[in-house]
Amino acid sequence: MFFRLLLIAVLLATSACSSKTPGPGASVPKVMRGEYRVMRGDTLYSIAIRHGWNYKNLARTNGIRPPYSLKVGQVVRFDGRKSTYTANRRASSRARSRKPPPAPPSVTLRGWQWPMKGPVIRRFSSADKLNKGIRIAGTLGQPVRASLAGKVVFAVNNMRGYGNLVIVQHGTLYTSTYAHNSRLLVKEGQMVRKGQKIAEAGSSDAERVQLYFEIRQNGRPLNPLSLLPPS
């Protein structure tokens, strides 16, 4: 909780010093010291993005292996020191009695679907440091759907530069990002089907109703138009 409050303070300070709002893809200051204790609903991806880390680097630093499952109370460190998680006997007994959570479904680069119907008003550009996806024009409340099956690893309202934001992890390699929504319909940790309605279009932290959509492989932005079917 301390580091979440620290991150919010940094973002507010940055906002006060500049009137220019960064677009999606703007970096968050990387936390390089201290630790974070996992709370209910946290995912490795949500912890990483809030603290300026690539989730795979954070997993490697803490010795967390795919599918990157976390336990409530587990300590995630940012200073490179190894951490261990030792549950008490009662908690360990409860954990043994539970079935392990299902791993995110495996996916390939085939089968992506459009997250929302509408014209593309801004295309992908590898040279653009702030915008690493595409923008699709829409109407207020229009359905935003998961482009592939996966697990919601980040769902937050009013994130600077993104507005109401959802990130879905597909297997261990890919993520898709859906920003500027008017309303989120899923929570972190929730499994979603391909085509499932996960949000409603809006203009949160944007100049018009639109969907900012991103696909990444191992943290590297891909051109969504090369993966989506012809419109």
Q: How high is the pLDDT of residue 41?
A: 77
What's the CA angle centered on 134, arms 56 and 121, to 5 degrees? 170
Q: How high is the pLDDT of residue 170?
A: 93
Mean pLDDT, each 10-residue run in order, the chain (231 residues): 44 38 58 89 85 88 86 89 53 52 54 96 87 94 97 92 94 93 96 97 96 93 93 75
64 and 48 in contact (C-beta within 8 Å)?
A: no
Give the separation between CA 80 and CA 168, rounded to whole angstroms.
27
Domains of the chain from N-terminus onward? 2-12+23-97 (3.10.350.10), 120-226 (2.70.70.10)
Q: How high is the pLDDT of residue 56?
A: 86
Q: How high is the pLDDT of residue 46?
A: 86
Q: How high is the pLDDT of residue 114?
A: 97
What's the longest Cα–Cα distance across the chain?
Answer: 56
| Beta-sheet pairing, 143-145 with 134-137 | unpaired
Cα dist from 39 to 14, 70, 92, 161, whole Å: 27, 9, 17, 25
Q: How high is the pLDDT of residue 108?
A: 54
Q: pLDDT tens digits, residue range 194-230?
A: 999 999 999 999 999 999 999 999 889 999 999 999 8
Give the separation between CA 227 and CA 133, rounded to whole angstroms.
12
Give the separation between CA 221 and CA 91, rounded to whole angstroms.
40
Give the separation between CA 165 and CA 167, rounded to whole angstroms.
7
Tokens of 7: 């991150």
Question: What pTM, to 2 d.p., does this model score?
Answer: 0.67
